[in-house]
Amino acid sequence: MTAPRLLLVNGPNLNLLGIREPDVYGHETLADVERLVTDAAAAHGFDVTAVQSNHEGVLIDAIHEARTTCAGIVINPGGLTHTSVVLRDALAGVALPVAEVHISDVYAREEFRHHSYVRDVAAVHVVGEGVAGYARAVSLLIDVIAGRAEG
């Protein structure tokens, strides 16, 4: 029997983790994030498929594919959080539980970052906990998937 799977989605510019504004996003890299999520998921018996793209359509295609291959989605949409209705609609359309993650505290930053199109379709929200927030998001999302928490 195969393990249930999570889709990890990282949006535009997250490929620059560890390089881009380390005072805001820290020194961990995207590879560190993917390893952290994979380890956190494995501790609960889940596998992970990871995708990062600077292209909205690539992310939407991965979300659509997850409909038949994954039990839930952990997503840091990056700047698309504040601009992308189509990304939000893709997440709503696949009807999977979603965990929204932001490394920085978007609510303590510029005003335009305070609105999230993803917020209303996500069961879990982890904001401002650095890269470690991804592991917490995985754990909380798995609780939702398992029926141990509302989602």
Q: Assess if residue 30 is contained within a domain.
A: yes
Domain range spanning residue 123?
A: 5-146
Binding site annotation covers 82? Answer: yes
Give the integer Cα–Cα distance in Å for 68 and 33: 24
Question: 99-151 pLDDT, tens per residue?
Answer: 999 998 888 777 877 889 999 999 999 999 999 999 999 999 999 999 988 76
48: domain CATH number is 3.40.50.9100
Of the residues 102, 107, 125, 134, only one is catalytic, namely 102
Q: How many domains does the chain have?
A: 1
Q: Is 102 a catalytic residue?
A: yes
Residue 150: predicted pLDDT: 79
Residue 106: predicted pLDDT: 82
Binding site annotation covers 103? Answer: yes
Task: Give the C-alpha distances (Å, rounded to integers) separating 30 from 3, 76, 91.
Answer: 24, 11, 22
Q: Assess if residue 151 is contained within a domain.
A: no
Q: Which pTM was predicted?
A: 0.95
Residue 1: predicted pLDDT: 73
Question: 22-36 pLDDT, tens per residue?
Answer: 888 889 999 999 999
